[in-house]
Amino acid sequence: MAGVGSVVDVQGTVADGFEPVRDAFAANFARHGERGAAFVLYRDGEKVVDLWGGAKTPDGDGPGDAGASGGDAGVSGGAEASGNAGASGDSGDSGDSGDSGDSGDDGASGDSGDDGASGGGGGREPWTQDTAQVVRSVTKGVAAAVPLLLHQRGQLDLDGRVSTYWPEFKAGGKERVLVRHLLAHRTGVPVLDTPLTPAEAIDGVSGPLAVAAQRPVWEPGTAHGYHAQTYSWLLSELVRRVTGRTIGRWIAEEIARPLGLDLWLGLPEEQRGRVGRIAAVEAPAAPAAQGPRLRPKRSVAEAYQDPESLTRRAFAAITPLPDENDPAYLAAELPASGGVATAEALARFYAALIGPLPSARTARSGGRLFAPATLTMARTEESAGPDQVLVVGTRFGLGYMLHGPACPMLGPGSFGHPGRGGSLAFADPEARIGFAYVTNGMRRGVTADPRAQALVRAVRTSLAALEA
């Protein structure tokens, strides 16, 4: 990987006033061992930051090579020390206060040694402006737009029962599960009694059958817990029953194509060469002046180590973990974790949720996706407090994580979704921004990755100076 202290040739542009963001992006390579990454920021529907750097294939290999196993295992926000570095306006280095610590499996194998990535040296292919990346659970935020847009168009009742659209789903005591429960992680089926194999997980049939038959582990609607893997089959089958289309096709036809987004749920074979290879990176050791790295609370660590806990079982709904560099995985339509996108596409997507895009390829609302009422629903709190799976407190709207200690974004009105390993994308309507950071260097933890948080702080600093 690009070792701590490495100098990487950062490419791209920033608008006047956003220079701190460029500095923070470059510093991620020097301070946090970044491999390859991109960051894009939209403000008022226009792109104001577009940065990329490092290596697309840091180990000299291309997509399809083994070595990156899937699943968003691990969450930050459970550190012993109080206060989350990313949630304040502090522009200082956060260190690793957002890391979750050891979750038993880091979700991505591969060489974590120093590869000296500096834009493709030593046979390593450089990250370019059009490099796309597997973004893991960032996909959930893109996928959540589908049921909300279906509701906006009068095709889906968020307060209706899932079994109204999918009769088989009511088996096992799930007859009262509402669509909004599904989106807010309140369904009670984050685990599978019989996990799926990687082949079954992507065949389009086994997953929906399994979650339909699964008995909930809590009474639906009474609690919430992160449906890390099962969200894929819950949402994809609901959308198919309502629309007659797969969720990947719906996103392509109704969102990506009209907005001109390089974003796929089900990567076409002809786009495979654009995708960076993901691999694990180890967190740099904290400088002595910062003291020891913060570790997760005992209850969090124990949950990840206990094979019978909901935590371990939720992330093991696919066993063994899939290889996320495998072309078959990239071609699958897994809305919980399998999206492939550029940072540009994700930032543009979130900008389109909250306001018009002057250059959109559609006349519908000037490119704006969410009507005001839909935007309000997306970021209104549906679930909050102790998460039955992630153990720490989390907050969810309808399909989106909301700003808070477990998932710090720009401010109280921000909504979006992180992906395990580091990627983060969100919108903030009050600040009028769409934010997207993608990386191929996977670190432990679902949320509050220090690289993403450094960029959040830099954006906050830039906006404050511009508005002063």
Which residues are designated catalytic? 137
d(CA 402, CA 460): 17
Length of the chain: 468
Q: Which of 371, 460, 336 is nearest to 20 (CA)?
A: 460
Residue 41: left if φ>0, alpha if ψ -120 to 50, beta else—which one? Answer: beta
3-state class (DSSP) for residue 392: coil
| CA dist., res. 141 & res. 341, Å (int) | 12
Ramachandran region, residue 17 (left: φ > 0; alpha: ψ -120 to 50; beta: rest): left
Provide CB contacts within 8 A for 254, sequence distance 6+.
Answer: 146, 149
Q: What are phi and psi of 289, to 5 degrees?
A: -65, -25
For residues 356 and 455, give the distance between their C-alpha atoms in angstroms, rounded to a whole number.
Answer: 24
User: If 0-12 CB within 10 Å is exposed, 13-18 middle and 19+ buried, where does residue 16 land?
Assistant: exposed
- Best CA proximity match to 275, nearest among 414, 128, 421: 128
**Rounded Cα distance, 161 and 85, in Å:** 40
Query: What distance in Å separates the CA atoms of residue 355 and residue 35, rounded to the nearest whole number?
Result: 33
Question: At 139, which helix (H) or strand (E)?
Answer: helix 138-152
Q: Are 1 and 441 in contact (CB under 8 A)?
A: yes
Residue type, 95: G
123 CB-contact burial (10 Å; exposed 0-12 / middle 13-18 / buried 19+) = exposed
Amino acid identity, position 230: T
**Cβ partners under 8 Å of residue 410, min gap 6:** 403, 426, 428, 431, 433, 435, 456, 459, 460
242 and 165 Cβ atoms separated by less than 8 Å = yes
Give the 3-state secondary structure of 242-307: HHCCCHHHHHHHHHHHHHCCCEECCCCHHHHHHECCCEECCCCCCCHHHCCCCCECHHHHHHHHCC
The answer to whether the beta carbons of residues 18 and 49 sit under 8 Å apart is yes
